[in-house]
Amino acid sequence: MRLGVVGICSDFRTLNQQEIDAVQELEFTGISYHFASSNIPGVSSDECDNCRFLLEKAQLDLVQFGITYEQCLFDPNPSIRQAAIEAVNCGMPVAKDLGAFHYLFRPGSLNPDGAWTSHKDNHLPESMDRLIETLKPIAENAEKNELTLVMETHAVSIMGSPEICKNIVDQVGSERLRIVMDFVNHFQSLRQVYNSDVRLNHIFDVMGPVAPMAHIKDISVQNGLVLHLNEEVPGEGELEIGVALQRFDALYPDGYGLIEHLPIEKIPLANTNVRNIAAENGISIY
């Protein structure tokens, strides 16, 4: 498998040698960008060409180009759903021009506080029906642009379980619609965390065949009278990360795992831990 990072390179329009050096110093071979859909109209072809040239010169891959937006893909309001489709679709030409391996997007939430907040109506059957219908034209556009879509998912979202994620991919029926293997996002109980090898194997059994890119994180359990499962530096939490790496590498030996959601100062530790765990489990990172 291959290893990349999210967070060192901030904006593809301003990619510079200092960022490239920081990535290469840690021996990552891939990077990632997130970009607001509202800023897509201001992107020039020269900016895309320059970024692609610098990455090719440095022999770095753009593993994922993520588009961000406020709209929910399954909002009851048809005009909002149409705006969501347009927000996702507008970034595809840029992702293609940049040579991105994957185009990252999210389902959203009916909670006005943000895409990764819960709402009881997220889980209604009609919400699922609307999501699937909204995803179909997005997938069709990805097919035209020859891009692989990867959807972000989470336990608090409409795509809260591996089974739901796989079912959505199957119902949309496009080879261009895939899921991010963000295994941390599918732990929902203490029992699952403390028996993480069982849960990880289940996640990969169900979602693995449709999840060609991974996000590598860990989980820590915080003290409190209600359940608090927080993201943690890989190797510093409760999960059997070696199981996740083994399963992903078996499915996608040339696939990318991305270290993400960490401040710059913690990325070196995460990098070292992941490489050590991979070596202990006979996994080659190249």
pLDDT digits (tens, 9 = 90+) for 24-42: 999 999 999 999 999 999 9
Q: Is the pLDDT of residue 97 over 90?
A: yes
Distance CA 90, CA 240 (A): 39
34 SS3 class? strand
Please state the pTM of the whole predicted model: 0.95
Task: Please name the fold of domain 2-280.
Answer: TIM Barrel (3.20.20)
pLDDT, the chain, mean = 97
Least Cα distance to 221 among 196, 200, 203 occurs for 196
Write the pLDDT tens digit of every residue in 217-230. Answer: 999 999 988 899 99
- Tokens of residue 131, six digits: 């999501």
CA gyration radius, the chain = 18
Write the pLDDT tens digit of every residue in 29-88. Answer: 999 999 999 999 999 999 999 999 999 999 999 999 999 999 999 999 999 999 999 999
Write the pLDDT tens digit of every residue in 124-144. Answer: 999 999 999 999 999 999 999
User: What secondary structure letter does DSSP report for 222?
Assistant: P
